[in-house]
Amino acid sequence: MAKEKIKVYTYTRVSTAMQIDGYSLDAQKARMKSFAEFNEYEIAHEYEDAGKSGKSIEGRIQFNQMMEDIKSGKDGVSYVLVFKLSRFGRNAADVLSTLQVMQDFGVNLICVEDGIDSSKDAGKLMISVLSAVAEIERENIRVQTMEGRIQKAREGKWNGGFAPYGYKLENGMLLINEEEAVAIRTIFDQYVHTNMGATGVAKYLEQHGIHKIQRQNGKNPLFDASLIRRILKNPVYCGKISYGRRKTEKVHGTRNEYRLVEQENYLLVDGLHEGIVSEDLWHEAQVKLLAQAKKYERVNPGKDTKVHLLSSILKCPVCGAGMYGNKSVKYKSDGTKYKDFFYYGCKHRSMTRGHKCDYSKQVNEELLDSAVAEVIVKLVSNPRFAGIMQKKINMKVDTAAIEQEIANYEKQLRQNYSIKARLMEEIDSLDPDDRHYLKRKTDLDDRLYKMYDKIEDTENLLIAARAKKMAIEAEKLTGDNIYKVLIYFDKLYARMDEQERRQLMEALISEVQIFEERQPNGQWLKSIKFKLPIIEENMSLSLDNDSHVETVVLLSKVSH
Among the listed residues 168, 188, 180, the one whose alpha carbon sits nearest the alpha carbon of residue 273? 168
Q: How confident is the model at residue 46, as a pLDDT?
A: 92
Give per-residue pLDDT as tens, 164-195. Answer: 899 998 888 899 999 999 999 999 999 999 98
Q: How confident is the model at residue 219, as a pLDDT?
A: 61
pTM for this entry: 0.38
The number of beta carbons lying within 10 Å of the beta carbon of residue 11 is 23
302 CB-near residues (< 8 Å, 6+ apart): none
Among the listed residues 133, 46, 120, 124, the one whose alpha carbon sits nearest the alpha carbon of residue 89? 133
Q: How confident is the model at residue 147, as a pLDDT?
A: 55
Q: How confident is the model at residue 475, as a pLDDT?
A: 58
54: exposed, middle or buried (Cβ count in 10 Å: 0-12, 13-18, 19+):
buried
Residue pair 131/90 in contact (Cβ under 8 Å)? The answer is: yes
Q: How confident is the model at residue 529, as a pLDDT?
A: 82
- 468/480 Cα distance (integer angstroms): 18
Give per-residue pLDDT as tens, 362-395. Answer: 889 999 998 888 888 877 777 676 666 666 666 6
List per-block mean pLDDT (blocks of 10 residues) for the chain, which spans 560 residues: 82 59 69 88 89 56 89 91 77 70 87 82 70 59 57 67 87 89 94 89 90 71 85 90 68 54 71 89 85 53 67 90 84 70 83 67 90 81 67 67 87 89 88 87 87 84 76 60 64 79 78 89 84 54 45 38
